[in-house]
Amino acid sequence: MTGISLELDPQIRAFAESSERLFSPAYDALPPTEQRKLYDAWCRDWSGPRPSQVAITDALIHTDDIDIPVRLYQPRGRQGRIPVILYLHGGGWVLGDCDSHDNRLRRSQRCLSSGARAQISRRLQ
């Protein structure tokens, strides 16, 4: 293919470079607690402003062993029963939680006016 120049958007390039710096071999050698701190800070840095059109409810699912944090995102002012999409973030059971993926869910919820989204903080202790 000739004559076509593919340039990354500057924001995408900055994101990719930031990802490469964080997720280096040195990162893999860190203990999980340190990886979580760096990953959570990286997520906050790339979150952007939070949309205000979304109502958020935090809850806990109580089990015999632990309490599992859950966060529900729904259109503001919506009442009654509505469909829910369950979002399970990545992270290999080590990284991520409701806060690290909060903005992603808030922003995607704006596009889903007839239903709600829920995410579970599912990392192993």
Domains (range + CATH), the chain: 10-120 (3.40.50.1820)
pTM listed for this prediction: 0.72
Q: What percent of the chain has pLDDT over 70?
A: 90
Q: How many Å apart are CA 86 and CA 108, to the nearest integer?
A: 12
Average pLDDT over residues 25-48: 89
Give 66-116 pLDDT, tens digit per residue: 888 999 888 887 778 888 888 888 787 788 888 888 888 877 766 666 678
Identify residue 6 by its one-letter amino acid code.
Answer: L
Distance CA 73, CA 22 (A): 29
29-38, 52-61, 86-95: least confidently modelled range: 86-95
Which positions ≥6 away from 112 have C-beta within 8 Å? 75, 85
Q: How far apart are the first and last CA of the chain?
A: 50
Residue 111 is predicted with a pLDDT of 62
